[in-house]
Amino acid sequence: GAGVSQSPSNKVTEKGKDVELRCDPISGHTALYWYRQRLGQGLEFLIYFQGNSAPDKSGLPSDRFSAERTGESVSTLTIQRTQQEDSAVYLCASSLVVGGTHEQYFGPGTRLTVT
């Protein structure tokens, strides 16, 4: 079946502009995650959505970052007034939650470059 998709695959923006990144999870997956990966580093957790529960936003680095999810469907991550340190690959993942286990399936990511 179709995997997690993300768009755009690449985004170049000027400092100070807003960007919106999109994630389409695997159909039926109730959990959705956003991560950020800076060059040569591991993944940083940003935000977690699970069903109709309140999202866990504890990983968002500043109030310039926000995310929404429509039901158990598409999610958008918005970065306002982008800064150069926001340059990174933004990865989305989705999963079923079975027995407390979150085996996550990742999308290809969006590479964001802020100039």
Partner 1 sequence: SQQGEEDPQALSIQEGENATMNCSYKTSINNLQWYRQNSGRGLVHLILIRSNEREKHSGRLRVTLDTSKKSSSLLITASRAADTASYFCATDANGDYKLSFGAGTTVTVRA
List contacts with partner 1 (CB under 8 A).
4, 31, 33, 35, 37, 39-43, 45, 48, 50, 56, 58-59, 89, 91, 93, 97, 100-109, 111
Shortest Å distance, C-beta 96 to partner 1: 12
**22 vs 106, beta carbon nearer partner 1:** 106
Shortest Å distance, C-beta 31 to partner 1: 7
**14 vs 52, beta carbon nearer partner 1:** 52
**9 vs 83, beta carbon nearer partner 1:** 9
Cα dihedral: 55, 29, 42, 20 (round 10): -60
Which of 32, 23, 25, 27 shows the shortest CA–CA distance to 97?
32
Shortest Å distance, C-beta 79 to partner 1: 19
**58 vs 70, beta carbon nearer partner 1:** 58
